[in-house]
Amino acid sequence: MTNFDEKMKQLKEESIAEFSLVAGTIGEARELIELVKSNGIKWFSGEPIEHMSEYIYKKMQTYPEKRFVLNFRNGFNLKKQLTIFCTWEQR
């Protein structure tokens, strides 16, 4: 079981409240987005992940000093579903 799979399991079992994954490059961000898509996870707003991909890539190109952080939470939205949201942090 990978670290991601273990964290997802803990999140679903509610033994952890949230976890984050960080991407420092566009390639890493693409990998994170593919991981999210393959697990059927949506943004906290309910949008499919594909709608945010281009925005994330453009922002990473515009602000190379920032890192993309993907936060996973269980029950973050009103439907109590597993969702994600992103933040940006300084390198």
pLDDT tens per residue, range 11-56? 888 888 888 999 999 899 889 888 888 888 877 777 777 777 888 8
Q: How confident is the model at residue 80 (pLDDT cuts 50, 70, 90)?
A: low
pLDDT at 62 over 90: yes
Say what angle helices 26-38 and 50-62 make with each other, to 10 degrees: 170
Cα maximum dimension of the chain: 38
